Structure 1
């Protein structure tokens, strides 16, 4: 980094100056990371990654395919069998991962900026993601030497031990909406448990993963333990899923792709598959809430944060009819304060949609919502942002939505809120559970009896009571139904990346 480039960017101009420095010519890496070396794809193929806020090319990135996957799996297996990482002590792995977290902390502005440029999110949001990613790596580093095995209850003539051992080679396929944070959620526990990890970042946001690879090498991860294969899901992603040498597949992304990956696991070696898939999360607001202004602010942020490109976005707002009109008015006022802007401006709440495909998908859903008879209360169109030539859509609110409308049932992955009304608690629970998904749910009420009743009845992997997504590394994250079967974060994710081994000893008597 040159002396003219701010090391601690604060203003819009600071971030713009730092962005000008992040180029391939200045050392930005866009090649695959295989066997501790940055290399071109085996066939030389590349794809273009764009800045969705400006349309400008960021880099030509190596586009890996089956040959690259085969090489990486072989390297990962060799690294695992060597024992340099897999059989190292928990304390040794802890030390390396803590060094990695420190390096991420030292380079947090650069890493956050890469995610902002690559997928359009505001830098302020990306900095929050970085805090989560660093915290995740540190949490699992600190956890690994504090988890004990088990001794089974036996008679004096036997000793039964239950040990946890790493799985082997883990392939992690991560999404584009929270590139580095989702990466940390996957690789943190997998590496801490002693596995070799192959990361396949989204082709829409690969740059921070490749920068992270440089940091893992600097942190001291043994050769071949961590590799990065940029490319497309239908090429290198499919190859990893079908590989007989991959022992576990960890995925965050759409439900449709998750189903394909489970099929590939069955067609190959029955590898473990942990999925965190789509969502259409309900946010229930009862009339007994004390501070409707606060609730409305949270309800708006629950859908408009990160441009609505969030798996747990509170995209279905269920409001008790006695306060519905008043409450929706407060949500509209909050939405007005959450308009998109230049992602490099720290004041921008929202940024650009990730690419033209997602941009058009959201606009198509908005048009369909109008055609289906929902009432458009705010937004609904593309926006032009001064000084930018990107893919911006403002906060959009539909009222009068029913459970037969596409905007009320299907995951849009954009800043589109669907408002439903209800009269009774029973109706609210029925509407909330009437979904293929079960990733998250919110509940706002001051009635503790109602809270206990409703939280137990909601079919969801996580329920937020009088908040939305206020959680940390100590609790698991994941869903039920077609939102998947895996759990990120907490000690439970470490369990997913290890196998149980029973050792039964017969003792001399």
Structure 2
């Protein structure tokens, strides 16, 4: 595929064909000498040879983080950590074109999309910088005999392991590092092996901002490295974002040392359109709720429920809109959807599409791998809408993580709520209506961590995000996120 220039240069980082991990402030190879490749999913181009860490490298990264935690970092005044974080926010914004290009090349997401993360990345870091100075204990009444004062202290939990997914690399790096830096913890971050590059560059920017060596360590590697990190006895907390299956394994690995764990996992989110909705807004939003980022978003609105009285009109308009979506070169500013991240991910998605057809579903739009000039070297799948489904079908029940939408219909609010909640997941949901009563009934009745009404995929640093049920537990963003990185110590002082 011929790349179209968009004004951003190829990142200088890629002039180094060997990309080592970042431990204790230094780029270092894996102790075993092993490496793996990371390639552009749009073209197959080799981007870099990356250090393939294992349990030995996990151990030295954790030791680095522990030494940094026990040094001056955790005792640094909050205002000093805040100053460092604000410098980091400026650096991330100043270098965001580079970070976005790394993600576009590594993930295949359109550059026009990866650049949208610039404002959010800066806002997240500044939000957590503000939280750093708000950490405080409480003076509490007690019923003890005599003159006794009781109060609490808030202290950083220690060494944090962050295990990140591949679908939003630099955004995940910021989201995981923010509460660590604000709280005074230290971090070993393992980016996904499919998309390691922007995390490494983010780690370099942390050092440039004044984050001491060892506070932020970037451990590149594959599944074995993540497993060793999850089980390491000197890790105090795990923050994981990824699939439910891997999340279950991490919980088992963490149990032996009673680590604190927060997990944001998969989803099969309902997006529900009532007959009184504004269809001019609901149609494109329903499409992009699932097709954005090639469907590789945990909170994607992959189960579309349309009220029966408007179903025919809505589906005609949705199909027409979907056919206009431009799929192609991620560096073309007109591209809306790029490839999926890898050949295994493409094969998994195509297998789901085949299963839907076998089970009686009908592909209203799409349903195939894209081929021809500009597509054959990459992992492109047509935006796909299936109809003729029921709630028991595999494609309706399981997370696909690709550009595949299951379209269903409903009649009443009660039916919509029952079917929306008839899933093991509970990450997000959407509701489209002009009726305030309907909106509130749905918001209260849906068992999911986010309910977007007349919008979809809205995020803000001050608003919590996370899931119910098999979509995980714990919340990221919002005023209470940092609590997961703090211990609460009770202090009693008897005065008589």
Tell me which interval the TM-score lies in, with the shorter structure as reference length. over 0.9
**Secondary structure in 2 aligned to 1:280?**
coil
Q: How far 1:349 moved relative to its partner?
A: 0.5
Q: How far 1:457 moved relative to its partner?
A: 1.1
* Counterpart residue number, 2:294: 307
Q: Deviations over 1:212-231 (max 9, x none)?
A: 11111111111211100001
Aligned mate of 1:182, from 168, 172, 176: 172
* Counterpart residue number, 1:243: 232
* Counterpart residue number, 2:444: 456
**Secondary structure in 2 aligned to 1:38?**
strand
| Pairing of 1:239-278 with structure 2 (within 5 A) | 239-267=228-256, 269-278=257-266
1:358 and 2:345 are equivalent in the alignment: yes
Q: How far 1:108 moved relative to its partner?
A: 0.4
1:468 and 2:456 are equivalent in the alignment: yes
Aligned mate of 1:14, from 6, 22, 28: 6
| Pairing of 1:334-483 with structure 2 (within 5 A) | 334-384=321-371, 386-388=373-375, 389-483=377-471
Aligned mate of 2:89, from 96, 101, 112: 101
Q: How far 1:386 moved relative to its partner?
A: 4.1
* Counterpart residue number, 1:58: 47
Distance 1:37 1:320 in 2: 57
Aligned mate of 1:45, from 34, 41, 44: 34
1:172 and 2:162 are equivalent in the alignment: yes
Q: How far 1:65 moved relative to its partner?
A: 0.2
Q: How far 1:350 moved relative to its partner?
A: 0.4
* Counterpart residue number, 1:134: 122
Q: Given that residues 441 and 460 in structure 1 are in contact (C-alpha distance below 8 angstroms), is that contact kept between their aligned partners in structure 2?
A: yes
Q: How far 1:385 moved relative to its partner?
A: 6.1
**Secondary structure in 2 aligned to 1:384?**
coil
Distance 1:132 1:240 in 2: 28
Deviates more, 1:46-55 or 1:491-500: 491-500
Supply the RMSD in Å over aligned alpha carbons.
1.5
Distance 2:333 2:373 in 1: 15
Q: Given that residues 129 and 178 in structure 1 are in contact (C-alpha distance below 8 angstroms), is that contact kept between their aligned partners in structure 2?
A: no
Q: How far 1:85 moved relative to its partner?
A: 1.3
**Secondary structure in 2 aligned to 1:327?**
helix
Q: How far 1:149 moved relative to its partner?
A: 2.3
The two structures have a TM-score, normalised by structure 2, of: 0.96
Q: Given that residues 400 and 421 in structure 1 are in contact (C-alpha distance below 8 angstroms), is that contact kept between their aligned partners in structure 2?
A: no
Aligned mate of 2:100, from 108, 112, 121: 112
Structure 1 385/339 Cα, relative in aligned 2: closer, same or farther at 3 Å? Answer: farther
Distance 1:80 1:261 in 2: 23
Distance 2:206 2:52 in 1: 21
**Secondary structure in 2 aligned to 1:161?**
strand
Q: Deviations over 1:471-492 (max 9, x none)?
A: 3111011001000012111122
Q: Deviations over 1:241-260 (max 9, x none)?
A: 11110000000000000000
* Counterpart residue number, 1:163: 153
Distance 1:463 1:118 in 2: 31
**Which blocks of at least 5 consecutive residues in structure 2 are unaligned?**
none
Q: Given that residues 396 and 415 in structure 1 are in contact (C-alpha distance below 8 angstroms), is that contact kept between their aligned partners in structure 2?
A: yes
Q: Given that residues 21 and 219 in structure 2 are in contact (C-alpha distance below 8 angstroms), is that contact kept between their aligned partners in structure 1?
A: yes
Structure 1 273/428 Cα, relative in aligned 2: closer, same or farther at 3 Å? Answer: same
Q: How far 1:328 moved relative to its partner?
A: 1.1
Distance 2:119 2:125 in 1: 10
Q: How far 1:23 moved relative to its partner?
A: 5.4
Q: How far 1:154 moved relative to its partner?
A: 4.0
**Secondary structure in 2 aligned to 1:366?**
helix
**Secondary structure in 2 aligned to 1:165?**
strand
Q: Given that residues 17 and 49 in structure 2 are in contact (C-alpha distance below 8 angstroms), is that contact kept between their aligned partners in structure 1?
A: no
Distance 1:55 1:385 in 2: 15
